[in-house]
Amino acid sequence: MNNTHSKVVGYILWIFGFMGAHRFYYGRPISATIYFFTLGLFLIGWIVDLFLIPSMDREADSTFSSGSSSYTAAWVLLTFLGIFGLHRFYLGKWLTGILYLLTGGLFLLGVIYDYWTLNQQISEKNASLFS
């Protein structure tokens, strides 16, 4: 079975989930963005998610490809050092990593883009190792 995402990390991010962090991690960027702007659907959705994390984890595990690139490591790098492009260096995207480093995550727009697409980027990289 694929184990691409961690329930422990999901619950840690859930603590900040009223801002959508756990939903971004599990590959749900639309609802994560809604959570960000509504404080977790006025904290109601945030409380409900306490019980939904196991199913979000299972769905992410079945949706995204496992491989040598860790989803958790990439998400930690994006969250804390995204404006420096370290998550991009981690994924072997040196050119855009340098671009992020020199432009503050391409003026933060690149970081926002990566919040929406990081799971897919990692999945594609992991899948390409097998083709």
Q: Please state the domain count of the chain.
A: 2
pLDDT of res. 1: 62
78 and 36, same structural domain? no
Q: Is residue 2 part of a domain?
A: no
Kindly state the average pLDDT of the residues 74-91: 96
Kindly state the average pLDDT of the residues 88-106: 97
Confidence label for 129 from pLDDT (cuts 50, 70 and 90): confident
Range of the domain at 42: 7-63
56 and 17, same structural domain? yes
Rounded to the nearest 5°, which phi and psi values hold at 98? Answer: -65, -40
Kindly state the average pLDDT of the residues 121-129: 93
Kindly state the average pLDDT of the residues 12-24: 89
Q: What is the DSSP string of 73-96?
A: HHHHHHHHHGGGTHHHHHTT-HHH
76 and 103, same structural domain? yes
124 and 78, same structural domain? yes
Instruction: Name the more confident of 42 and 1.
Output: 42
Q: How confident is the model over 23-75, as pLDDT tens digits?
A: 999 999 999 999 999 999 999 999 999 999 999 999 999 999 999 999 999 99
14 and 50, same structural domain? yes
75 and 52, same structural domain? no
Q: How far apart are CA 40 and CA 36, in angstroms?
A: 7
pLDDT of res. 130: 72
113 and 75, same structural domain? yes
93 and 112, same structural domain? yes
Q: Can you give the pTM of this predicted structure?
A: 0.91
Residue 75: which region, alpha, beta or left (left: phi > 0; alpha: psi -120 to 50)?
alpha
86 and 46, same structural domain? no
